[in-house]
Amino acid sequence: MESDTAQTHPPGEPGPDPRFDGLIIDLDGVVWVGATAVPGAIAAIAQLRARGIRLLFMTNDPRGSRAEYAARLSALGVQVDEGEIATSGSALAALVREREGAGTTAFVIGTPSLKGELTQAGLELLAGEAGREAEVVAVSGHDGFNYDELRIATQALRRGARLYAAGRDATFPMPDGPWPATGAVVAAVEVAGGKRAISVGKPEPVLFELARSLLGDCRRVAIVGDNLAADIAGGNRAGLTTILVLTGTSGRDDIAGAEVTPDIVLPDLAAVMRKVFA
C-alpha cells in the first residue's frame, strides 16, 4: 500500500497551503479509471469545494463533449457545468477555428462528440470520400478508427491539407490495463500522410491556457494528474505547481527517469485533500 506521506521535489512534506485558490484536476486516472470512480476522489472534490477552492476538470480524452463529461461527473455526485471543464476536443476546435477560420473544410477522425465541437466552432465537415478534398484533417482517438479513415486522411494530407491533433497520449488507463489513445492514431496518420500534426492536448500549452483562463482570477493554481509526460510536464511548462497521484498511468518508479519531476507526489486525490488543502 502506498504511503500517505507526500514526496516533494526537493524531498519534503507539504503542509496546508492556503495560497492555492485554484486546482486543475485531471479526470482519467485521478477521478476515475474506466467507468469506476477512484476510491475517495468524489468525497475529496466535495471537501475541496467546501474550502472554497475553485476547481477546473481537465481531460486529454477528446471522445466526449464537455456536456457529456459534466453528465458523467454528475452521475458520480459531482455537479458541474461546462464552464468548469476543459477537454482536448474543445481546445482543438478553438485552435482550428482561430488558425483556419470559419467555413474551412475538415475531415475529422473522431467521435460524433468531437465532430460536434468542430461544427460548433464553424468548420465545415466533409464525410467519406469527400474528405480527400478537405483543407484540414483533425485527429483524435476513437473506438471506430479504421483503415478507410486512415486512407482518406492520408490522401487529404498528401494533397495539401493541414494536420491537427487532439493530443499525443499513447495510452489511457483502464481497469484491465492501458488502452491505445489519441497519440497512437495520430502516429499512424502522420506516418502515412507525411506531415507532423499541430497538437493541442497536454503537455502542449493550448489546453493549459484554456484551463487557466476558465479559472479566472485565481492567483495560485496547482494541477493534479496521473501522467508524468502529460500532466506534470505540461503543468510545469505552464508555471503551475504539479501534484502527481499514483492511481493512473505513472507510478513512483517512473519518477526517477522522467524529464520533469512533480513538485508533490501523493497516493490519490483524497491524500491531496488531506495533505495539501486540509
- Check pLDDT > 70 for residue 10: no
| Same domain assignment for residues 179 and 227 | no
In a domain, 275, yes or no: no
| Same domain assignment for residues 213 and 173 | no
| Phi (first) and psi of residue 242, to 5 degrees | -110, 135
Q: What is the pLDDT of residues 209-237, one digit of tens each?
A: 999 999 988 999 999 999 999 999 999 99
Q: With contact defined as beta carbons under 8 Å apart, do 276 and 14 qualify? A: yes
Q: What is the mean pLDDT of residues 24-51?
A: 96
Boundaries of domain holding 211? 14-60+202-254
pLDDT score, position 252? 93
| Same domain assignment for residues 108 and 189 | yes
In a domain, 146, yes or no: yes
Last residue of a domain, one of 155, 181, 199: 199
| Same domain assignment for residues 33 and 109 | no
Which CATH number fits the domain that encloses residue 44? 3.40.50.1000
Alpha-carbon distance 78 to 31, whole Å? 10
Looking only at Cα atoms, what is the longest distance across the chain?
A: 58
Q: With contact defined as beta carbons under 8 Å apart, do 235 and 225 qualify? A: yes
Instruction: Quote the cell numbers at residue 212.
Output: 487557466
In a domain, 163, yes or no: yes
pLDDT score, position 38? 97
Q: What is the mean pLDDT of residues 147-173?
A: 96
In a domain, 95, yes or no: no
Give Cα separations from 18 to 21, 41, 241 (angstroms).
7, 20, 13
In a domain, 70, yes or no: no
In a domain, 277, yes or no: no
Q: What is the pLDDT of residues 71-113, one digit of tens each?
A: 999 999 999 999 999 999 999 999 999 999 999 999 999 999 9
pLDDT score, position 240? 95
Q: What is the mean pLDDT of residues 157-184?
A: 93
- Look-up: residue for cell 466533409? 126
In a domain, 259, yes or no: no
Give Cα separations from 97 to 108, 135, 150, 251 (angstroms).
14, 13, 23, 37
pLDDT score, position 16? 42
| Same domain assignment for residues 19 and 36 | yes
Task: Please state the domain count of the chain.
Answer: 2
| Same domain assignment for residues 117 and 183 | yes
Last residue of a domain, one of 158, 180, 199: 199
Report the catalytic residues: 26, 28
In a domain, 108, yes or no: yes
| Same domain assignment for residues 223 and 190 | no
